[in-house]
């Protein structure tokens, strides 16, 4: 599962993205990070020997195009992209669909779907131009397939994460002939800055302990980053259009919630 010499873009700089940057470079990759917050990029660059980083709002087309161009220039080529950037839409008003405003819907989809679409589109264009194949890995969520009515009724978020799976499978079919593989990791509850509210909620913490028995609670970011490293590596050269659920047992464990 080595990544020696591979040039990889990661969107995001905390949580899963942060762990992935450290893991990928440890496996021999050159990593370029694109994130919204400069301080987070600086902090990551102090921990990991990055090939470079850019600050961009990846839901903005012009910024996404510019940042991906900077990443391509910094890396020299693009062999893979790990599209992590996203987050909860609760602060916008995401929730049960009958309570979701149009503004909340659009903001949540922009945060989770547009921020994947734009940098992946730009990286894909580079890969096609290179003619040497490549790998795309999206980060979806177990909520796209295994909803929980009580604790996680965030319907715009679930819609965005389900759309990533459909997009990946459609892309996999279209670009397999170009040697470009497209896959998805779908995490359960992971201990990240985004999940801090949930981790500090006693009901959610207890739910995680029973729903994710392999982890005994929240998964660690490294659990997801490891799956992504495999998908980006040549060890996964025969895999495309697949969804790997890194869920600690969520999808096969019955519990309340």
What amino acid positions are annotated as catalytic residues? 157
Is the distance from CB of 22 to CB of 71 less than 8 angstroms? no
Is the distance from CB of 81 to CB of 7 less than 8 angstroms? no
Q: Rounded CA gap, 19 and 193, in Å?
A: 12
Of 213, 199, 194, 5, whose CA–CA distance to 87 is shortest? 194
End-to-end CA distance of the chain: 36
Alpha-carbon radius of gyration of the chain: 17
DSSP 112-168: IIIHHHHHHHHHHHHHHHHTS-EEEEEE--GGGTS--TTT---HHHHHHHHHHHHHH
Residue 193 DSSP symbol:
G
Residue 203: CB partners within 8 Å, gap ≥ 6? 151
Q: Token pair of 209, please?
A: 């302990």
Q: Rounded CA gap, 45 and 152, in Å?
A: 34
- What is the H or E stretch that residue 54 is in? strand 52-55
Q: How far is CA 142 from the centre of its chain?
A: 12
């Amino acid at each position: 599962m080595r990544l020696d010499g591979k040039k990889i873009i990661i969107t995001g700089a905390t949580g899963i993205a942060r762990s992935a940057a450290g893991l990928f470079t440890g496996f021999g990759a050159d990593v370029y990070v694109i994130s919204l917050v400069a301080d987070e990029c600086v902090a990551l660059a102090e921990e990991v020997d990055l090939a470079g980083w850019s600050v961009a709002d990846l839901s903005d087309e012009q910024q996404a195009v510019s940042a991906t161009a900077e990443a391509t220039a910094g890396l020299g080529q693009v062999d893979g992209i790990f599209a992590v950037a996203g987050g909860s839409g609760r602060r916008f008003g995401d929730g049960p669909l009958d309570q979701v405003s149009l503004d909340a819907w659009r903001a949540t989809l922009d945060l989770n779907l547009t921020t994947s679409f734009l940098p992946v589109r730009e990286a894909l264009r580079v890969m096609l131009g290179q003619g040497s194949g490549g790998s795309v890995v999206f980060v979806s969520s177990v909520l796209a397939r295994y909803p929980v009515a009580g604790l996680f009724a965030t319907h715009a978020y679930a819609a965005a994460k389900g759309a990533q799976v459909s997009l990946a499978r459609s892309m996999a079919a279209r670009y397999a002939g170009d040697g470009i593989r497209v896959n998805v990791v779908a995490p359960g509850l992971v201990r990240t800055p985004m999940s801090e509210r949930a981790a500090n909620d006693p009901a959610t913490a207890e739910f995680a302990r029973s729903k994710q028995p392999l982890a005994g609670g929240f998964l660690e970011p490294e659990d997801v980053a490891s799956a992504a490293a495999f998908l980006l590596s040549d060890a996964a050269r025969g895999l495309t259009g697949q969804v790997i659920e890194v869920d600690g047992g969520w999808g096969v464990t019955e519990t309340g919630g």
